Structure 1
């Protein structure tokens, strides 16, 4: 007899036992990060008997096809894509906030206004020593404030560059782990417990990598994955058991770029892209801050050269340097301020040159430029925060959708545990009944 109760019950018991094992794994790993719920795949087992017609199939129980992971590759890809976008926005916002703090909290705008105010006060009495000393003090404060703002931008840039470098190291580490997982997957038995564990590791590593850069994946027949960094048009970073090396280069202006095995790599998402964008904005901010400082240096020193100081000598530069980082007040005392026009004698009360200096400063309007710079940075931070919040919401929705599919519901697992236990017991009972039937037949006299 090709199909008998014992073989049918045996196959059913084996399937129920496998299902019980998987249910126990699901319950034990309900809170494990990256774990994907498993179910058993079964199919009817058919067998032809000698006396049956060629096309006739007798059902002979059930067979276990393998272990199924309840993971949708499309939802996983969506989680990686939205997560990369959210990471990029968060990194950019963090960088922009550092830039805003560096420029705004140092009080550059206030120091420029205070310096211009001290010049206005000096115009009321150009020979007053205390007013001249106040101008020099405000000039010193302003130049030091520019220096602090520039140093703060340098510190912010170094922080972003260090974090980006650490991100590159992390991407290379994950790529190496993926290559090793690929090698093990290629040798793992199909639908085995070892393979499903490796698949969990593979998917977890891919999600981790997507937080740093946008990746595109291609799944091969043996369940290994080929990873392209920089999107579909990017370069292959992981193929089989081989992983390429991502590297970062820092330009003279502080911006960063990436290469993969020496070839330029375009990373448009993930935290690496966000830090790159923040550094680009920082470089632009530094240039604008240097331009404001340069305006003040040129206007004041040019006006100084066109007038005479309190001693009747041709005015000498008050500031040295070319930008925010190296601006410095070099005048030794208040008498060095050239308030009088060229040709005036010592202790002249002629304020003509000072008036012209103030007019030139008003025309250059460094305070307005600084105000515009601060407004631009603040607007960028506010706009990027709105974008970041929206992308975080989208990423959270995608992750919840995936979790609903791959996560373990303890209530459902408890029901499955009871059902498979009963199925196992029922198949055991069938085997007992079959044994009793055969014993009764053998005992017939």
Structure 2
């Protein structure tokens, strides 16, 4: 009897200690987003009878059976889906915001207004050399602002492409790591701590992959993950397939898996592609605005004469924001008078025609429209991003409530298993007392 009590007490103490260790592990990982709460299931230890006991079964204590990991396939999928949507919106918004900053910091609208103001001052005295030099300086400054804006868009595009290349590389690394994790899951003993840790690693990898490319995931009976993009396998068992990226003619990004084109529906890589499309459209508008300024100024020059009686020369060279430059070499080349006027004419008819062309639905109005549309697009995308983030946060909270660590609950478990450990210690003590009493009877 005492021997059985000793075994029962020992097994109970060992099981309680294992449960205490697992509870302490939960508490240590309370703030770890990659950790799912563990619990320890117990099983009875049954000893079968010997020769004289036929096949009777006697209970001989308890043993730790399996490490159970809190999980929810639906909540994990929802958290991954919503986080991929937020990552897409964040990447697109960041790219467009950088483009807007480039345009605004260049000061295109201000430069256009200043150029128009210099023409208005020249109209007061069309032969004044200082006023003519001021117009030339204003034109040169305007050309510089367009080039600065174009360079800013180049930098924004380069940054997006660099991030996309880095994201593709990271996704491929994650795919390879997930394939290795699948191999580890296949070898691990079900219900072991190692298996639970591998499942944590699997879910963390899937979350990061979803944020990059909005992958689709399926789990087999063993818990191994199969990942696909647009129906093309990215990870299958212990095999992974590389994602590749290339630039499309329209400025967006094209993605392939194993040479097959795939369409992304979420993730930061898709957001980068969408931002590149927006910047390409913005560049087209900026080049159109630049061409408008070039055409208006050069047309006016061609229709007038300079103070020395020669026909006006082109004011600007180039065709877009990247190559616009001042073509005039001095203020004396500004054609303020209409064709047919005499030398040193104070007739400002041609200058006035240029001023009217600039004023009525001219570049300033176009620049204002460009900036307004860009600001409106960023504002609407910010609202969308914030709404998606709220949804993602809700999904994250739901997942955390299901799989995360609740310190109050763990404190209760600590007290429970500590008392169980002490109780089993008393069982062992009672067995020892009984054994000592039996030994004392024969004395």
Taking structure 1 as the reference length, what is the TM-score of the superposition?
A: 0.88
Matched, 1:305 2:305: no
1:170–1:70 distance in 2 versus 1, CA, 3 Å: same
Q: What is the alpha-carbon distance in structure 2 between the residues aligned to residue 365 and residue 116 of structure 1?
A: 10
The match for 2:318 is 321
The match for 1:163 is 163
Give the alignment partner of residue 240 of structure 1, picking from 228, 237, 254: 237
Q: Deviations over 1:191-243 (max 9, x none)?
A: 111111111111111122222221221011111101123xxx44221111111
The match for 1:372 is 369
- TM-superposed deviation, 1:303: 2.3
Give the alignment partner of residue 332 of structure 2, picking from 335, 338, 347: 335
- TM-superposed deviation, 1:58: 8.4
Corresponding pairs, count: 439
- For 1:105, what is the secondary structure of its paired residue? helix
- For 1:358, what is the secondary structure of its paired residue? helix
The match for 1:146 is 146
What does residue range 208-357 of structure 1 map to in structure 2 within 5 Å? 208-229=208-229, 233-251=230-248, 254-357=251-354
1:57–1:266 distance in 2 versus 1, CA, 3 Å: farther
- TM-superposed deviation, 1:322: 0.3
Q: What is the alpha-carbon distance in structure 2 between the residues aligned to residue 335 and residue 111 of structure 1?
A: 22
- TM-superposed deviation, 1:59: 7.1
Q: What is the alpha-carbon distance in structure 2 between the residues aligned to residue 300 and residue 110 of structure 1?
A: 17
- For 1:66, what is the secondary structure of its paired residue? strand
- Contact 1:126–1:351 at 8 Å: present in 2 too? yes
Q: Deviations over 1:397-437 (max 9, x none)?
A: 32222223322233332332332233344445556667877
Q: What is the alpha-carbon distance in structure 1 between the residues aligned to residue 336 and residue 216 of structure 2?
A: 67
- TM-superposed deviation, 1:47: 8.9
What does residue range 96-135 of structure 1 map to in structure 2 within 5 Å? 96-135=96-135
1:131–1:443 distance in 2 versus 1, CA, 3 Å: closer
The match for 1:73 is 73
Q: What is the alpha-carbon distance in structure 2 between the residues aligned to residue 234 and residue 306 of structure 1?
A: 62
- For 2:295, what is the secondary structure of its paired residue? helix
- TM-superposed deviation, 1:13: 5.0
The match for 1:359 is 356
Q: What is the alpha-carbon distance in structure 2 between the residues aligned to residue 309 and residue 274 of structure 1?
A: 52
The match for 1:383 is 380
Taking structure 2 as the reference length, what is the TM-score of the superposition?
A: 0.88
- Contact 1:310–1:346 at 8 Å: present in 2 too? yes
Is the deviation greater in 334-343 or in 153-162? 334-343
Q: What is the alpha-carbon distance in structure 1 between the residues aligned to residue 130 and residue 180 of structure 2?
A: 75
Q: What is the alpha-carbon distance in structure 1 between the residues aligned to residue 154 and residue 211 of structure 2?
A: 26
- For 1:305, what is the secondary structure of its paired residue? helix
In the alignment, structure 1 segments of 5+ residues that lack a partner are none
- TM-superposed deviation, 1:329: 0.7
- Contact 2:164–2:272 at 8 Å: present in 1 too? yes
- For 1:172, what is the secondary structure of its paired residue? helix
Q: What is the alpha-carbon distance in structure 1 between the residues aligned to residue 121 and residue 423 of structure 2?
A: 101
Q: What is the alpha-carbon distance in structure 1 between the residues aligned to residue 147 and residue 26 of structure 2?
A: 60
- Contact 1:295–1:364 at 8 Å: present in 2 too? no
The match for 1:85 is 85
- Contact 1:37–1:70 at 8 Å: present in 2 too? yes
In the alignment, structure 2 segments of 5+ residues that lack a partner are none
Q: What is the alpha-carbon distance in structure 1 between the residues aligned to residue 182 and residue 94 of structure 2?
A: 35
- For 1:127, what is the secondary structure of its paired residue? coil
- Contact 1:234–1:266 at 8 Å: present in 2 too? no
